[in-house]
């Protein structure tokens, strides 16, 4: 049994190593902001002088730092693991944090892809409505496409207004953009454009029908997501119950971390609980994915 408040050498070395690695990464990322701050102070002549542009530069530096941290949010697992190692006097929490980094990164990347997919789907619906409205107002199809802001469909969208401007193959450009996840509705827009060019059919009416169909699909996805929100919330609550139990045990003076991290029975229970927790989350995710028709789960 270890003395409370005194770390063993392996736990201390491991925790110190990961804290140093995290600090080195943070300092390397902030080097540009520090050099910018030194340049501002040097230009002011002395440290007490006031530079009117300094607040804007400080805000820009803070914004840049926030952006960097936002892109690397999975690295926040490391300080959490280090705190757990200090609290529990063990190297297991930092080791678990290292294992969790790629898993959290994968989860965050999946969430980013899902949000980008939703933005592209919404942009296709807006494209159908905007182009159809411009055509009803008397504008030419190429002019209406060039006027649409396709920032959510970039970088492939740039080829569509270029093809419309210089007489290129607009349907082929639309199909190329439609290969992106979430922009599959552009295949219908390309078909409407092809039929309107070859057969003289009304493009505005076709785009309105395509936009309506895509809107119905979007509403169905949102309704399904709302129905599955209760299942996701229940899964998250059940996943957090072990942490709540540990906090309650620590508040009662039972020292649950000492038992879990420094006794064979505790380590066995911790491993078994981790396996059961992972199995439960995977099972819940599979249920949600099946209910969502194979889409992104919880």
- In the prediction, which pLDDT does 195 show? 87
Residue 83 counted as domain residue = no
Residue 224 counted as domain residue = no
Please state the pTM of the whole predicted model.
0.68
Q: Structural domain of residue 131, as residue ranges?
A: 117-219
Residue 127 counted as domain residue = yes
For 148, other C-beta atoms within 10 Å of its C-beta total 19
Pull the structure tokens for residue 282: 């995977």
> In this predicted model, which residue has the larger pLDDT, 184 or 39?
184
Residue 250 counted as domain residue = no
Residue 183 counted as domain residue = yes
3-state secondary structure 39-94: HHHHHCCCCCCCCCCHHHHHHHHHHHHHHHHHHCHHHHHHHHHHHHHHHHCCCHHH
If one counts the domains in the chain, the total is: 1
- Mean pLDDT rounded to a whole number for the chain: 78
8 A C-beta contact, residue 119 and residue 152: yes
Residue 47 counted as domain residue = no
Angle at 289 between CA 286 and CA 293, to 5 degrees: 140
Pull the structure tokens for residue 112: 């980013």
Residue 140 counted as domain residue = yes
Residue 248 counted as domain residue = no
pLDDT digits (tens, 9 = 90+) for 18-55: 555 555 555 455 445 545 545 544 444 444 444 555 56
Confidence of residue 209 (pLDDT cuts 50, 70, 90): very high
């Amino acid at each position: 049994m270890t003395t409370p408040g005194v770390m063993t050498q392996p736990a201390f070395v491991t925790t110190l190593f990961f804290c140093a690695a995290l600090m080195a990464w943070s300092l390397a990322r902030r080097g540009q902001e520090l050099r910018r701050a030194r340049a501002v102070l040097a230009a002011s002549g002395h440290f007490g002088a006031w530079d009117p542009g300094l607040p804007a530069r400080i805000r820009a530096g803070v914004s840049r730092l926030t952006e960097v941290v936002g892109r690397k949010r999975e690295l926040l697992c490391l300080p959490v693991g280090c705190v757990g190692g200090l609290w529990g006097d063990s190297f297991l929490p930092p080791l678990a944090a290292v294992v969790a980094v790629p898993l959290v990164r994968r989860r965050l990347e999946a969430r980013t892809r899902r949000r980008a997919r939703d933005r592209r789907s919404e942009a296709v619906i807006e494209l159908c409505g905007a182009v159809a409205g411009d055509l009803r107002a008397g504008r030419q199809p190429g002019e209406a496409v060039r006027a649409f802001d396709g920032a959510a469909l970039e970088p492939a969208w740039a080829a569509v207004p270029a093809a419309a401007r210089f007489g290129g193959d607009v349907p082929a450009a639309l199909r190329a953009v439609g290969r992106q996840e979430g922009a599959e509705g552009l295949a219908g827009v390309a078909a409407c454009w092809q039929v309107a060019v070859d057969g003289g059919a009304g493009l505005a009416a076709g785009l309105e029908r395509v936009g309506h169909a895509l809107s119905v699909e979007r509403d169905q996805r949102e309704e399904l997501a709302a129905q599955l929100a209760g299942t996701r919330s229940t899964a998250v609550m059940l996943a957090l119950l072990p942490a709540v139990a540990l906090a309650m045990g620590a508040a009662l003076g039972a020292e649950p971390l000492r038992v879990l991290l420094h006794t064979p029975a505790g380590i066995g229970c911790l491993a078994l609980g981790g396996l059961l927790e992972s199995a439960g989350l995977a099972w819940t995710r599979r249920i949600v994915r099946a209910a969502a028709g194979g889409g992104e789960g919880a």
